[in-house]
Structure 1
Amino acid sequence: MLFGRLLPTLHDAEFCDEKLLLAKSLQASFGAATHIRLMPFSIAEIIQLSKTLKEISLGLVDLAFPETRSNLNEHYRFVLGHSDFDLKKMYQQKQVWANLLKVVVFVLNQIHTRDLRLGFCPETHWTVSRLDLPLDRPTDLPLTRGNRTRGIRPFQPIRDFTREDFENGPPMSTKQIRSITILREIPFVVPFSKRVGILQGLVAADKMRVQGNYQAFLQGPSIILKVRRSHLYEDAYDRLRPENEPDLRLKFRVQFISSLGLDEAGIDGGGVFREFLSELIKTAFDPNRGFFMVTTDNKLYPNPDVADLEPDFERHYYFIGRILGKAIYENLLVELPLAEFFLTKLAGKYADVDIHQLASLDPELYKNLLYLKDYEGDVSELNLDFTVASNSLGHTQVVELKPNGQSIPVTASNRIEYLQLMADYKLNVQIRKHCVAFRRGLSNVLPVEWLYMFSNKELQILISGAEIPIDLVDLRKHCKYGGEYSLDHPSIILFWSVLESFNDLQRRQLLKFVTSCSRPPLLGFKDLDPPFFIQNAGDMERLPTASTCTNLLKLPPFTTEEQMREKLLYAIQSGVGFELS
């Protein structure tokens, strides 16, 4: 318990030695000064400790929710008080075990969070392969807190079900309850790919309820949307207001209007929608629009001073949260580098983050605060008080970090409070309204509880895909062909040969040209729907074209590698829209 209280108070420079910081290129965030390492255990001991705590936590989850059969073993009976103890002792015993589970989970999460930043554990350290989760039935895992999970407490008997409870579904099995507890409390023990599968299964089931079982893209309820390319954000914001479209989970059918005021050719079978959503997110998060700013490493976060530009800014952040939720809901990857602390706010159970995240917003300020924390001179001589200067549109405003802060000097005795308040202001206070509105918008489309099983770095991968080279072997394996084409057709052999010679950027351009997204699906091209499809375009004088609604590449039967390469590169780098198809 004491170790659990110590961990949150330690900065990364106090947690580990400088060799690890240098290895992870983090030394610049903490400054050149030498920090005293306050961690009582070595990194090797912490790794072993976390491994042990991981096994203990899984064992405690099993004990907390025992099988209800009558032949419980002695361990279950002892823990749950199935003995001759009186009721008072039985209650106390359960409280002790429940508190033990809480403490072990807390310490384990603290170490895991630290490892996300410092990366001191081996790559597969956290996952447990033996876990038996109902992955084939994700809907058996109601991760949102509702009637089915109400009243379920560790080391407590399951309450009696009412008629209302049964209307929300049958009682959950022990396996379900254990699985939900693991995904809520220690999700990192489940491999990332399996958690992605669970999320996609939950979304698929929700789509079935909302959109119905309509296979054809022109069937079923949908949102009809006409937008001007030149006013994409404004038109979408006005048309998709909650009062106009309360449920963005419905299918979209998008019609672009060109700069000439004409409807662009083509029927939206999904591809136009994907381009619309990608471009809408791109313009919404563009720092030039004013809703977001960039950190020193070009990561996006909400603009603290946006109220000076847009008084009704909360409605805009709600809207932007909805469209990002729609992208995740539709499994659409968008290249959107978000700041680590902002991702933590979206993926975490709590909207506020602590000082440990400050380096991802302002590494220089974080370094200065650490310097102040370790300063051995007279702190009062630094002439600091409990205020911070806020600059907006050329105007400077002094903000008090606490009541009467302008009259309270920072001293050796209150500098820790100053550090915490300064970090809280920068990370939380000045953008609280922005983030609350954004999370509400996101939750309007995708229950935010579904994202709690992902870390901030994993959420970035969910949004943007992994920054890994495109696997041509996987793409070729799951590619389909039409017309005269087949895997052994001379033009197809040339096509794959040319792709082998492409660099990664050119391969991404091709993928975006055909699918409207430059990054591969999270779980590989087997999940690309519809599959990557190549069809004979017939006329060799034409350029390759694409129908992104069906992930279809219309490829003329070029006969030389030089011709194939030249025509492909011209097509994928020309930047034209869907009117080509």
Structure 2
Amino acid sequence: VLVEDCSEEEVLRSMVRRVRAHCDETVRRAHQMQRLSPEIWEGLMLLQLLWGANEAVAKRLDLSLALQPEWPEPDLGASLSQTLSQLTGFKGTSTASNLLGKFALAPNVRPPVPAFEFHLESLAEELVPPELEFRLFVENACAGPITPAEVLELPLYAARTDYGFEYVLPSKMRSFMANRNLVPVSYTRKVLQVENHHAQVYLQHQVARRVAADLEVLPGHEIHIDPALLFFILKVRRDNILEDTTAALQRATPEDLRRQLKVVFEGEQGVDEGGLAREFFRLLSARVFTAECGLFDPAVAQGARVLWFDSNSACESTDFWLAGVILGLVVYNNMPGLDVRFPPVVFKKVKDEPLGLEDLRNVHPDTYLSLRSLLSWEPENPEISDDEANSIFENTFCLDFLVTFDVNGKKQTRELCEGGKDKAVTYKNREDFVRLYCEWLLTKSVERQFEPFRKGVRRVCDSPLFNALHSAELEMIVCGEQELDFSQLKRNVHYDGFCEDMPYVNAFWQLMLSFDVVQKKRFLSFVTGSDLAPVGGLQELQLVIQRNGGEPTERLPTAHTCFNLLLLPEYGSTSKLERMVNCAMHNAEGFGLE
């Protein structure tokens, strides 16, 4: 009914906004009453129905949209590379990025209502504590999230109430994380943080019980436990950070990796309450997740500007496993993110989600265009027979079910299917060819490199809530927010010794808002230990600015990165403020960090 009668964008969008507003209002009432009512879950069910209708409308649009690009006469050569060269020469179009626009609508029609408009604002405001939602998820939804299609099949149960019998939803619905497509990623991350913390505390309690049993300590008596048994303590040298980390991770047991991480920089006195770990991952990612480290394909890094696994890499499987462990430690220890340029397909592979042609777009854009040209080709005369169309297609493209690739500078070929070298690509079987070609490029060609990487991530991250995450949510948790909006940072700042309306504070924020991207990253690294914004934006940091004396002073601003605390002297002029802040930022690494 929704699809038939409410398919117009404005009508559907209006319904989504009203139902979402109703859900937010029921959550706010529950927050005031300290009790979750059945009305909340009923509202979520209706919002799921609207989500399903939204997707169904998009599918209808997708089916009705005919892809008819104005390509030249199809004399497209005998290989994918020749096909691309013909296409890129058409009408002066010389780059893959220009051609990508011609296919922007055909592969994926976006639903009328964007996904973010379904997200509950009340959850972003944490009106439902993440600790409570984690308990709801464990009790009701560990089997996995609910899909919009599944809502239509949910059974209703009759329950006796004070007003007689009423129909109630199954317990699986009684969790926000079970309806994860309606939950903001910032809230998902906080619930995941709760789960990770519970796992770490559970391991610490297990250690304490074992030690107490071995020492035959009576209940109520204090025992002293080596911190190395409670935490995964990683001692590294700044100038040897990659080698020291590699050695430590290779020695670590699976139980070690699941303990709370504490980083110690040798020769420094900082105590890690989160800030040193953030700085550690920032420095380490600059060494590991680069095109120069040998793990990733330099040609893809240069052409597509993303990190993709190098099928010709000389690195051992252990190196890829270590990269996966590092990524897993970032998620498990609730770090704000890594400055990495992984394409979305990496996270889809980690989550074992199905892949397709669109996943090739961000990794091999030229090949993506060539494969799209195969799928979009149509004979000039639509009335010819299938045999004639197959013959014209075969003579135009001259392709077999083979793939050609380089191995140490030498060309090699491999069949995409049994008997592929003798099987021509035709108009009828071209979709099979595209599917097998994508499978080769995204899966089989990098299997030796990616499987150890995936196992490394899974060695650290393997829990019900992590398994329920969608790849897009995992990507945002790992990579953080890309945009650095300092107006968000200003919105949630707390002052100690200053007032928000002081001219000096206004001058400070004018300086911050004038920074370019590089300066913003440097300031965030100085104050928080990481140059990335957490999921949900910079307002999630809750920066604290504390007055640290006044003139006369030559004291630089300092920071306690573990607490996002900036100790700022009150300088006598705006020019001195700018000079001292810049000096502190440029000399921050290993200085003033706790």
Q: How does 1:224-243 map to 2 (within 5 A)?
A: 224-241=233-250, 243=252
Task: Go from structure 1 to structure 2 and tell me whether the alpha carbon gap of 1:536 and 1:245 turns closer, same or farther (over 3 Å shift).
Answer: farther
Equivalence for 1:301: 308
Equivalence for 2:475: 460
Select the residue among 546, 549, 563 that pairs with 1:534. Answer: 546
User: Partners of 2:117 and 2:198 in 1: how far apart?
Assistant: 29
Q: How does 1:368-407 map to 2 (within 5 A)?
A: 368-375=370-377, 376=379, 378-381=392-395, 382-407=397-422
Task: Go from structure 1 to structure 2 and tell me whether the alpha carbon gap of 1:561 and 1:332 turns closer, same or farther (over 3 Å shift).
Answer: same
- 2:237/2:244 contact within 8 Å kept: yes
Select the residue among 180, 196, 200 that pairs with 1:203. Answer: 196
Equivalence for 2:509: 496
Equivalence for 2:523: 510
Task: Go from structure 1 to structure 2 and tell me whether the alpha carbon gap of 1:219 and 1:342 turns closer, same or farther (over 3 Å shift).
Answer: closer
**Alpha-carbon offset, residue 222 of structure 1:** 1.4
Deviations 1:17-69 (A, max 9, x none): xxxxxxxxxxxxxxxxxxxxxxxx9x96699899999999xxxxxxxxxxxxx
Deviations 1:51-101 (A, max 9, x none): 999999xxxxxxxxxxxxxxxxxxxxxxxxxxxxxxxxxxxxxxxxxxx9x
Task: Go from structure 1 to structure 2 and tell me whether the alpha carbon gap of 1:328 and 1:532 turns closer, same or farther (over 3 Å shift).
Answer: farther
Quick check: 1:318 aligned with 2:321? yes
Task: Go from structure 1 to structure 2 and tell me whether the alpha carbon gap of 1:505 and 1:437 turns closer, same or farther (over 3 Å shift).
Answer: same
Select the residue among 322, 327, 330 that pairs with 1:327. Answer: 330
- 2:524/2:532 contact within 8 Å kept: yes
Task: Go from structure 1 to structure 2 and tell me whether the alpha carbon gap of 1:203 and 1:255 turns closer, same or farther (over 3 Å shift).
Answer: closer
Deviations 1:401-431 (A, max 9, x none): 1123222222333322211111111112122
User: Partners of 2:286 and 2:15 in 1: how far apart?
Assistant: 44
Task: Go from structure 1 to structure 2 and tell me whether the alpha carbon gap of 1:476 and 1:297 turns closer, same or farther (over 3 Å shift).
Answer: same
User: Partners of 1:422 and 1:383 in 2: how far apart?
Assistant: 15
**Alpha-carbon offset, residue 516 of structure 1:** 1.3
User: Partners of 2:282 and 2:563 in 1: how far apart?
Assistant: 17
Quick check: 1:274 aligned with 2:278? yes
User: Partners of 2:294 and 2:457 in 1: how far apart?
Assistant: 20
User: Partners of 2:510 and 2:142 in 1: how far apart?
Assistant: 56
Quick check: 1:558 aligned with 2:571? yes
Q: How does 1:108-187 map to 2 (within 5 A)?
A: 119-123=110-114, 127=118, 129=120, 136=130, 137-142=132-137, 176-179=171-174, 183=177, 187=180
Moved more, 449-458 or 406-415: 449-458
The letter of the residue matching 1:200 is Q
- Alignment root-mean-square deviation, CA: 4.7
Deviations 1:182-214 (A, max 9, x none): 855x63233444433433333343343235699
Task: Go from structure 1 to structure 2 and tell me whether the alpha carbon gap of 1:476 and 1:352 turns closer, same or farther (over 3 Å shift).
Answer: closer
User: Partners of 2:13 and 2:504 in 1: how far apart?
Assistant: 55
User: Partners of 2:143 and 2:428 in 1: how far apart?
Assistant: 49
Select the residue among 387, 399, 415 that pairs with 2:430. Answer: 415
Task: Go from structure 1 to structure 2 and tell me whether the alpha carbon gap of 1:574 and 1:356 turns closer, same or farther (over 3 Å shift).
Answer: same
Deviations 1:119-178 (A, max 9, x none): 45334676165999976512224479999889xx966799xxxxxxxxxxxxxx966411
User: Partners of 1:339 and 1:487 in 2: how far apart?
Assistant: 41
Moved more, 520-529 or 397-406: 520-529
User: Partners of 1:219 and 1:386 in 2: how far apart?
Assistant: 56
Quick check: 1:577 aligned with 2:590? yes
Give SS of 1:247's match: helix
Give SS of 2:118's match: coil
**Alpha-carbon offset, residue 480 of structure 1:** 4.2
User: Partners of 2:416 and 2:203 in 1: how far apart?
Assistant: 46
Give SS of 2:112's match: coil
Deviations 1:478-520 (A, max 9, x none): 3243xx6565777545433433443454333212211012233
User: Partners of 1:471 and 1:112 in 2: how far apart?
Assistant: 39
User: Partners of 2:273 and 2:532 in 1: how far apart?
Assistant: 21
Give SS of 2:580's match: helix
Deviations 1:449-488 (A, max 9, x none): 535655544433222222334344653643243xx65657
- 1:388/1:422 contact within 8 Å kept: yes
- 2:337/2:479 contact within 8 Å kept: yes
The letter of the residue matching 1:333 is G
User: Partners of 2:573 and 2:485 in 1: how far apart?
Assistant: 24
- 1:386/1:400 contact within 8 Å kept: yes
The percent identity for this pair of structures is 23
- 1:266/1:578 contact within 8 Å kept: no
Give SS of 2:366's match: helix
The letter of the residue matching 2:359 is Q
Give SS of 1:241's match: helix
**Alpha-carbon offset, residue 118 of structure 1:** 5.2
Deviations 1:283-319 (A, max 9, x none): 221111121234533122222222xx02x32x33332
User: Partners of 1:302 and 1:560 in 2: how far apart?
Assistant: 51
User: Partners of 1:331 and 1:287 in 2: how far apart?
Assistant: 23
- 1:333/1:519 contact within 8 Å kept: yes
- 1:281/1:320 contact within 8 Å kept: no
Deviations 1:216-241 (A, max 9, x none): xx898112222233332222122112
Gapped runs of 5+ residues in structure 1?
1-40, 57-99, 159-172, 258-262
Gapped runs of 5+ residues in structure 2?
20-48, 63-103, 158-167, 209-226, 380-388
User: Partners of 2:282 and 2:128 in 1: how far apart?
Assistant: 33
Quick check: 1:290 aligned with 2:294? yes
User: Partners of 1:145 and 1:403 in 2: how far apart?
Assistant: 47
Select the residue among 339, 342, 349 that pairs with 2:343. Answer: 339
User: Partners of 1:474 and 1:519 in 2: how far apart?
Assistant: 12
Task: Go from structure 1 to structure 2 and tell me whether the alpha carbon gap of 1:390 and 1:149 turns closer, same or farther (over 3 Å shift).
Answer: closer
Task: Go from structure 1 to structure 2 and tell me whether the alpha carbon gap of 1:322 and 1:353 turns closer, same or farther (over 3 Å shift).
Answer: same
Equivalence for 1:69: none
Normalized against structure 2, the TM-score is what? 0.65
Equivalence for 1:545: 558
Give SS of 1:388's match: strand
User: Partners of 1:226 and 1:416 in 2: how far apart?
Assistant: 53
User: Partners of 1:554 and 1:119 in 2: how far apart?
Assistant: 47
Aligned pairs, number = 466
User: Partners of 2:435 and 2:375 in 1: how far apart?
Assistant: 11
